[in-house]
Structure formats: C-alpha cells, structure tokens
C-alpha cells in the first residue's frame, strides 16, 4: 500500500486515482475529552494530536446508505458542474490538489469526470493544510518542481466550505509560498458547495455530500493530517493509515457508485453548468449567522461554531459537542446527525429559521 520508491502513496484508492503527499506515521491516540482540553487551553494545537477513529455503527451505516440513495444524483450533478467550471477556466494542463482528507474523494471523482466527460486528463495529488499552520510547502514544491507540473494548472479542491477558514488559510499560505519561491499559484478554493462564499463552487446550499459524513473508510483509510514533532523540515505532513479498517473500506466502492451516477446523469441529458455561483449572498448569510450565534450563546471563539452538515458531522464524530441545531430534524439528509446526537446524548435544538440545515456548537473549555 505504501511504496518506498515514491514520496506518495494512494491509501486504499487505486494508484492512478490519487497521490497522497503525506507521511504515514505511528501515533498514540489522545482521548477526545483530553484532546479538547489541550486544544482549548492552548497547550497543544489540534494538528499535533489525533483521537482514535471507530468504525460506524450498523445503524449509522444504514442511515448513510439511505442518505446516499437520496443525494447521490445531486452530488453527481455538482461534480459535473464543478468539472465544467474547471474545464471552461483552464485551457492547459490541470493538476487537482485536494485538501486532505475531505477534499480527497471529490478530487478523485473530479479526475474521472474531467477525463471521461470533458476529455481533459488531470493529475491528482492530495496534500495537507492546517488551520493556523498553513499548507504543506514541501508537498507544493514536490508538485511544481520535482514532478514538474505547470503552476498555472494547479487547482485546489475541497468538499465544501463552512465558515471559510481553510479558504482564507489557503490564500495566506499561497501568498507566503510566492514570497518564498517566486511561484504564483491560484489561491482560490474550488468546492462542491461554498456556504461561506469564499471560493468557487456551483452551489452555496447546505446539502448532504455523502462522503462528508463518513471518516477514514471513505477517504482512502487515512486520518486527517498531522503536524507534530515527528515531522521534520524535509517531510510531508503526517497521517495515520488505518490498515485495520481494510475489510470495511468503502473508498473505491464510493468512487464507483458516483461514477455510475455521473454516467446516468449524462445519459439522461443533464447539461453541466460551467458558471460558479455569485458568492456575495453566501458571504452575507455566513457573517449574519456567526454574529447571531455568538450573541445568542455568548460564544467568543468562532472556532467553536461549525455550520453546515459536513462540519456538524465532524464535530459529532471527533470533538466534544455542546449543542446540535437543526432546521428540520425530520429531513432525511440530517438523519445521521440525529443518530449521532442520540448516541452521544447531545442537546438538540430545532430552529426553522436557521440559514443552514445544521450547526454544531463545541463545548467551551469550562464545560469540558
């Protein structure tokens, strides 16, 4: 699975689908509550630690498959639209650089869609970017210098935006990279849906992206990226490879399922839209939501507010949630959140006026 002859590996994906520029490392897992305490007290950065990941319960998998059946056509159309936007914008070489790990399944599917629907072959790398720590510049240098990819062809891919933190981190990191190397890269973040209005996307709607509600078993069996004392100056950022989950892996199956859904959309005559949405309305909606939530709950740290189905799912899976706010708890797209909230005894609040289907609040340090 991990070749010593190349600086990258494909996780559990097909080797031609992705090149992870990450360093697999051993890691002692940190319990969730202790990790939260260390993060919020400022003793450790979140990227230095990882909590043990568990396989989804049988009930959660049942909910996931039901959600996938409801939403795969929408995701297939979004992938076609995003691929159309890229094909229209880029006349030359395309290099997809997905942000591990949520961006990776999207990057894999975009690679197939560009080649199979638009006759535009692309190379796909997946690299690390970390809030407050920046992007993996060793990985960027590998892509544009060692691998010889045209800097003008690099496109940064994620699944979605929540508050836009990673999109802004990308902009700052690439400005620093240009100052250090003289290499100019497109600082925009491309995603299937852009809730924060900070990137390029075919939608700004909070809807269920099926890959967003699963963990390692739908992301090539890798963890989120790690940046701790095991990572030297010449290393890529780290990750854990969950070899023990191989019998339960769904990564390749999900790619095959969505490729089939994309072919079905094309056969049915769907015409991809090659123009991204105007981001102004999403920006205004995001700012208003953050101000309202901070005021209502007395939250000083916006990092404790996680808007959108994808972000709320992350909170319930690997943080210490304080509250889950749903616009409509009977909506099938949030059934997995209701299930997780029930399993973890998280307070549920219904807000029909919420601008998003889901918002999760992380417990403040005094509550952990």
Residues 192 and 55 in one domain: yes
Q: How many domains does the chain have?
A: 2
Q: How far apart are CA 99 and CA 18, in angstroms?
A: 12
Residues 177 and 287 in one domain: no
Domain with residue 211: its CATH number is: 3.40.50
Q: Is residue 235 part of a domain?
A: yes
Residues 290 and 208 in one domain: no
Residues 151 and 239 in one domain: yes
Query: How is residue 315 written in tokens?
Result: 């909170």
Q: Is residue 12 part of a domain?
A: no
Q: How far apart are CA 258 and CA 193, in angstroms?
A: 17
Record the pTM.
0.92
Element (H, E) at 87: helix 58-89
The string of DSSP codes covering 116-183 is HHH---EEEEEE-EETTTEE-HHHHHIIIIIS---GGGEEEE-SEESSSHHHHHHHHHHHHHHHHH--
Q: What is the pLDDT of residue 6?
A: 58
Residues 307 and 255 in one domain: no
Residues 55 and 178 in one domain: yes
Q: How far apart are CA 272 and CA 132, in angstroms?
A: 36
Q: What is the pLDDT of residue 3?
A: 37
Domain with residue 302: its CATH number is: 3.30.1330.30
Q: Is residue 14 part of a domain?
A: no
Q: Is residue 11 part of a domain?
A: no
Q: How far apart are CA 200 and CA 282, in angstroms?
A: 12
Domain boundary among 267, 291, 325: 267
Q: Is residue 32 part of a domain?
A: yes
Residues 72 and 152 in one domain: yes
Residues 158 and 97 in one domain: yes
Q: What is the pLDDT of residue 20?
A: 97
Cβ–Cβ under 8 Å, residues 56 and 248: no
Which 3 state secondary structure label does DSSP give 193?
A: strand
Q: Is residue 272 part of a domain?
A: no
Q: What is the pLDDT of residue 366?
A: 61
The string of DSSP codes covering 52-75 is PP-PPPHHHHHHHHHHHHHHHHHH
Smallest CA-to-CA distance from 210 within 221, 220, 218 is with 218
Residues 159 and 250 in one domain: yes
Q: Is residue 3 part of a domain?
A: no
**DSSP bridge partners of 123:** 95
Residue 123 Ramachandran class (φ > 0 left, ψ -120 to 50 alpha, else beta):
beta
Q: How far apart are CA 214 and CA 104, in angstroms?
A: 13
Q: Is residue 9 part of a domain?
A: no
pLDDT in tens, the chain (368 residues): 333 345 779 999 999 999 999 999 999 999 988 998 999 889 999 999 999 899 988 888 988 898 899 899 999 999 999 999 999 999 999 999 999 999 999 999 999 999 999 999 999 999 999 999 999 999 999 999 999 999 999 999 999 999 999 999 999 999 999 999 999 999 999 999 999 999 999 999 999 998 888 889 999 999 999 999 999 989 999 999 999 999 999 999 999 999 999 999 999 999 999 999 999 999 999 999 999 999 999 999 999 999 999 999 989 988 899 999 999 999 999 999 999 999 889 999 999 999 999 999 999 876 54
Q: Given the DSSP bridges, would you call strands 160-161 and 193-194 parallel, antiparallel or unpaired?
A: parallel
Q: How far apart are CA 231 and CA 233, in angstroms?
A: 7
Domain that holds residue 351: 280-367
Count of residues in the chain = 368
């Amino acid at each position: 699975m991990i070749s010593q002859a190349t600086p990258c590996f494909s996780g559990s994906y097909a080797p031609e689908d992705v090149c992870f520029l990450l360093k697999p490392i051993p890691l002692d897992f940190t319990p969730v509550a202790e990790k939260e305490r260390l993060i919020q007290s400022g003793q450790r950065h979140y990227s230095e630690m990882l909590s043990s990941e568990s396989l989804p319960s049988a009930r959660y998998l049942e909910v996931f498959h039901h959600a996938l059946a409801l939403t795969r056509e929408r995701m297939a159309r979004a992938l076609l639209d995003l691929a159309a936007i890229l094909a229209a914008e880029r006349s030359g070489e395309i290099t997809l650089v997905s942000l591990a790990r949520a961006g990776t399944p999207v990057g894999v599917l975009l690679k197939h869609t560009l080649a199979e629907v638009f006759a535009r072959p692309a190379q796909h790398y997946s690299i690390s970017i970390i809030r407050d720590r920046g992007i993996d510049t060793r990985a960027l240098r590998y892509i544009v210098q060692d691998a010889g990819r045209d800097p003008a062809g690099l496109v940064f891919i994620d699944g979605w935006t929540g508050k836009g933190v990673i999109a802004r981190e990308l902009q700052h990191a690439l400005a620093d990279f240009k100052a250090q190397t003289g290499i100019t890269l497109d600082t925009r973040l491309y995603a299937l849906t852009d809730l924060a209005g900070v990137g390029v996307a075919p939608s700004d709607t909070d809807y269920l992206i099926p890959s967003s509600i699963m963990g390692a078993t739908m992301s090539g069996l890798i963890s989120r990226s790690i940046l701790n004392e095991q990572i030297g100056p010449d290393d890529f950022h780290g990750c854990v490879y969950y070899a023990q989950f191989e019998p339960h892996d769904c990564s390749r199956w999900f790619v095959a399922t969505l490729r089939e859904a994309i072919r079905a959309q094309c056969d049915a005559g769907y015409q991809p839209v090659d123009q991204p949405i105007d981001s102004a309305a999403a920006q205004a909606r995001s700012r208003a939501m953050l101000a309202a939530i901070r005021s209502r709950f007395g939250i000083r740290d916006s990092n404790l507010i996680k808007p959108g189905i994808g972000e709320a799912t992350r909170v319930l899976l690997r943080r210490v949630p304080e509250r889950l706010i749903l616009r409509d708890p009977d909506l099938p797209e949030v059934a997995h959140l209701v299930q997780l909230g029930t399993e973890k005894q998280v307070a549920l609040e219904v807000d029909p006026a919420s601008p998003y289907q889901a918002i999760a609040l992380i417990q403040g340090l005094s509550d952990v």
